Amino acid sequence: MSGTPIVLLARGWVKPGGWDWVKRFACADAGVVCKAQVTGETEEEVLGKAVEHARSAHGVDLAQSTTLANFARSLIRDDGAAARS
Ligand SMILES: [Zn+2]
């Protein structure tokens, strides 16, 4: 194993070998004036964090509506693809 600090792994920012697994959701992409971003290993993880954020910061329950949830999911970007291009 490499010497990558486990705390960074736990936070989802660094993985030995690259960034190809990182998904990101930026609140601003939803048209909200907000600088919050969430990242995660999978779409589900990112979506879960986005739902949490929307609820606590904006009083919007994304999980209440399939349309909203799908909209939020469509905004999730794959950081790996961006890093490679
Ligand atoms: Zn926000």
Query: Which tens digit of pLDDT belongs to each residue from 52-69?
Result: 999 999 999 998 999 999
- Work out the burial of residue 69: count CB atoms within 10 Å of its CB; fewer than 13 is exposed, 13-18 middle, 19 or more buried: middle
Q: Is residue 67 part of a domain?
A: yes
Give pLDDT, residue 79: 80
Q: Which residue has the higher pLDDT, 10 or 80?
A: 80
Q: How far is the CA of 1 from the centre of ligand 1 (A)?
A: 37
* Mean pLDDT on 10-26: 66
Domain that holds residue 71: 21-79
Q: How far is the CA of 9 from the centre of ligand 1 (A)?
A: 24
Q: Is residue 37 part of a domain?
A: yes
Q: How far is the CA of 79 from the centre of ligand 1 (A)?
A: 19
Q: Is residue 5 part of a domain?
A: no
pLDDT at 38 exceeding the cut of 90: yes
The radius of gyration of the chain's CA atoms, rounded to the nearest angstrom, is: 14
pLDDT at 33 exceeding the cut of 70: yes
Q: How far is the CA of 53 from the centre of ligand 1 (A)?
A: 6
Q: Is residue 48 part of a domain?
A: yes
